[in-house]
Amino acid sequence: MRPAAALAARLGLQVHDLDLFEQALVHSSYLHEHPEAAAAHNERLEFLGDAVVNLVVSEALFVRHPADDEGTLSARRAAIVSTSGLARLAGRIELGSWLLLGAGESRRGGRLRPSLLASGFEALAGALYLDLGYGPTCDWLLALARPEIEADLPMGTLKSPKSQLQEYTQQRLGERPFYRIVAASGPDHAKLFRIEVLVEDRVIGVGEGHSRRAAETAAATAALATLAGQDGPARDAP
């Protein structure tokens, strides 16, 4: 059985176009190393899937939380469709083990990398939308993301690490954090960024990622952990 067929069966999806479904699993690094093995990588499907996931989640949150204003709904959506949020959904279906990656990307832990999992999940949603239509794709996404959609989390927990860090440093230190790239290595299709975040010219966090945004988020997360360890009240920062 083809991997795409096995994954579709595992997810309980009646996929018609297995070639399209399999394309959603093809990372650019795999196509770069095996140009004859696949017709295309999954980045176009990722583009489409991003819109599909955002619409499904937005509509579900609008119905589930009728008392929320636009800002709160936007924060709830961001917590679900962020890189870490989508990686969490991808983890529920063990998507990383099904992705077709180049040998180098696989050795670098790509199957566990949040940005790669999130991209693959969006590509999968895009393929399902094209193959099955909006209704079945929506039903599948809602079933998978139900815990996050129905959660009544306080506003502070919905904010991204970068937003939390900025609010904390401005409130406590009167300064905004500054992010700077200290290294960027690897080929264009698998660039790895290393970024430091500084406050008052002091490095308080370092992070890595395959995009500047992912690396900045990782650095902000590390900085929040550092501040929480140095100053107990930091744990109460919004």
- Please give the Cα distance from 227 to 96 (Å, whole number): 32
Helices and strands, counts by H and E, the chain: 12, 3
Examine the residue annotation and report whether 19 is marked as an active-site residue of this protein.
no
Non-local (6+) Cβ contacts of 82 within 8 A are: 118, 160
Q: Is residue 50 among the annotated active site residues?
A: yes
> CA 233 to CA 64: how far, in whole Å?
33
Q: Give residues with Cβ within 8 angstroms of 215, minimum separation 6.
A: 181, 193, 194, 195, 207, 208, 209
DSSP 123-164: HHHHHHHHHH-HHHHHHHHHHHHHHHHH----HHHHS-HHHH
- Active-site entry in 105, 122, 131, 148: 122
CA dist 80 → 2, 40, 77, 141, 238 (Å):
31, 28, 5, 11, 18
- Paired with 206 in beta bridges are 196
Q: List the catalytic residue out of 46, 50, 131, 196.
A: 50
Q: Which residues have a catalytic role annotated?
A: 50, 122
